[in-house]
Amino acid sequence: MLRNARDTYVDFCASYAARDLERCARLVSDDVVFALYIDRDLAPFGGVSIGRGIMHQRWQMVAQAFDLLRYDVAHVVEEADKLRGLVAYRFRHKATGEDIAGVMRHVIQPRDGLMARIEEHHDRTRVEAFFRLIQSITPADAPPVQPAKPDAELPAEPRQSTRTSCDTKA
């Protein structure tokens, strides 16, 4: 029996919050498209990746660089062919002790009970400013975050919106 998209998404978020990256990987399709719309020059785990293995590498890069202090699903909205989620988060950069907190929006396209496409939207200006800050104050002897494999060839990222709130339709 296939799981519904909402249950899969909520399970994924709970697994990510527990840093159970193996379980997260079981909840996405083999050919998952993961789009994290932040500058890859600032955050090597940003950009668009295709495939469970590369996505898993990106999650490991985040875990290597950050402690996860909060990752809570605030709400989920189901539509005919996709699901939208809002997650409140707080991460602490291990090398500097600097925290970033906020909310991210997910747009999920499910397929066969798994997540086939995950788009992660942040306040890009704020997040990229945070990454410039931590790059400027990271101790010289801090271990570098190992970059993932290059992105697959995909169409350009969608135009950035100035809208900062999420739909609250139930």
Phi, psi (5° rounding) for residue 115?
A: -90, 120
Q: List pLDDT tens digits, range 94-110.
A: 999 999 999 999 999 99
Whole-model pTM?
0.81
pLDDT at 168 > cutoff 50? no
Residue type for position 120: E
Give the SS3 label for residue 101. Answer: strand
Least confident of 31-35, 67-71, 126-130, 153-157: 153-157
Quick one: pLDDT at residue 1?
39
Would 63 be classed as within a structural domain?
Answer: yes
CATH label of the domain that carries residue 101: 3.10.450.50
Would 152 be classed as within a structural domain?
Answer: no
What would the DSSP string read from start to end of 46-78? -EEEESHHHHHHHHHHHHHHEEEEEEEEEEEEE
Would 149 be classed as within a structural domain?
Answer: no
Quick one: pLDDT at residue 138?
83
Residue 131 has, within 13 A of its CA and on its CB side, a CA count of 19
Separation between Cα atoms, residue 34 and residue 117, nearest integer Å: 6
Would 77 be classed as within a structural domain?
Answer: yes
Would 42 be classed as within a structural domain?
Answer: yes
Contact in structure between 89 and 70 (CB atoms under 8 Å):
yes
Separation between Cα atoms, residue 95 and residue 135, nearest integer Å: 10
Would 147 be classed as within a structural domain?
Answer: no
* Helix, strand, coil percent values for the chain (each to nearest 5): 30, 35, 40
Q: List pLDDT tens digits, range 139-148.
A: 777 766 655 4
Number of structural domains the chain divides into: 1
Would 161 be classed as within a structural domain?
Answer: no
The residue segments making up the domain with residue 17 are 5-137
> CA 14, 20, 26, 27: dihedral to nearest 10 degrees?
20
